[in-house]
Amino acid sequence: MKKNIKSWLILSSCFLLLIISIIFFIQSRQLTNQDQQSITLTDVGFDTPVTFQAQCSQEDFEKYTKILKQVFKENNKRFDQYNAYSGINNVYTINHQAGSQPVAVDDTTLDCIKLALQIHEICPKFDISYGNVMDVWHTYREEGMKLNEKGKDGKLPTDEEIQTALSHGGTDKIQINGNQISFTDPDTMIDLGGIAKGYTTQLAKKALNKAGLHNGFINAGGNVVLLGPKPDGSAWTIGIQDPDSQNSVVSFETDEDKTIVTSGDYQRYYTVDGKRYAHIIDPDTGYPANNCRSVTVITSDSGKADGLSTSLFCLDYEQGKALAKKEGVQAIWIFDKDHSPNETPDLKTKKYNIYMTKKIKKKVKLVTN
């Protein structure tokens, strides 16, 4: 009897080892088929390349890439203020019709506009109602960039043009009734350029998470959204760009699925008489903000981070610190050394003084000097 029990135990152990070996073999095959995949998309709108990276099978990556493309292309149409599209009332439609009649929009467009108005309540420097001012600068900037490429100076809009454009701004001119948008001033225009890309990147994250992807990242021209933790358990290291080069000047480490959004004067600009005029406009003056070189906001929602990074870029450092603290977000400021706050920087290079909120000081490191 004891001999039979012993034989049974030996057989059971062998069977268990066999099962464990099979499971290990299957898992090994799965890991082998889940390589790191990466692609940079240049045809999904927002005037920026979108880099997408994940660890999964090639088949799944193609499925996820398709989802990403769909979200970006659809929202590029929604938030386009320069072109109309069949079957959708987008920002272009709103700007050309809402001054004379209510324009019905879909839930996504409405939600983005409401988020933008909420951020305006947090910080009046973020104001989508000054589309006319943005339009004036867009025209001069596009022409100026072409002239700069030829070694020539761009031109500045006249103060009269700026003041006329400013007169049609003000969020009180934007009326929302259900899903309908209307303007009380027929010449008012909105511009969602300070939030649309971040908002869209957040929607892409939600869609990819829902489809089963919980690792990797999306980088939409400075809007970095982490889709989940790294598969190997290590921390993400995100580079913050040097304003005067394609290299990173500092890096930020995190093991959480955060969003990191940077607004800077190097992203879209032209020069006149050696002075840089960037795309982020201070609604109080009607002219490009120039308080710092860049501001990076770190939080959990890309749409909010996009709006707040634009806001902080238009505020001085002390105002920006207060706003970041109030909203519970982390931030990194990069200043030229000769245009810095009267405060000891947290980090510095030969060219820049770098400041940051307290909670991330141990997570930010210099990359270049």
Q: Tell me the C-alpha distance between 330 and 305, whole Å.
A: 10
Q: Tell me the C-alpha distance between 292 and 334, whole Å.
A: 6
Query: Which H/E stretch holds residue 336?
Result: strand 330-336
Q: State pLDDT tens for residues 198-219.
A: 999 999 999 999 999 999 999 9
Picking from 338, 343, 339, 337, the residue whose alpha carbon sits closest to that of residue 356 is 343
Q: What is the pLDDT of residue 7?
A: 53
Across the chain, mean pLDDT equals: 91
CB-based contacts of 259: which residues, under 8 Å, 6+ apart? 198, 201, 202, 205, 223, 224, 225, 226, 298, 299, 300, 301, 302, 305
Per the CB < 8 A criterion, the answer to whether 69 and 86 are in contact is: no
Per the CB < 8 A criterion, the answer to whether 213 and 56 are in contact is: yes
Q: What is the pLDDT of residue 369?
A: 61
Phi, psi of 267 (to 5 degrees): -80, -50
Per the CB < 8 A criterion, the answer to whether 361 and 339 are in contact is: no
Q: Is 285 helix (H, G, I), strand (E, B) or coil?
A: coil
Any idea which of 15-29, 39-53, 214-228 has the lowest mean pLDDT?
15-29
Q: What is the pLDDT of residue 14?
A: 45
pLDDT confidence band for 231 (50 / 70 / 90): confident
Q: State pLDDT tens for residues 134-184.
A: 999 999 999 999 999 999 999 999 999 999 999 999 999 999 999 999 999
Strands 275-278 and 347-348: unpaired
What average pLDDT score do residues 270-292 get? Answer: 95
CB-based contacts of 161: which residues, under 8 Å, 6+ apart? 136
Q: What is the pLDDT of residue 9?
A: 46
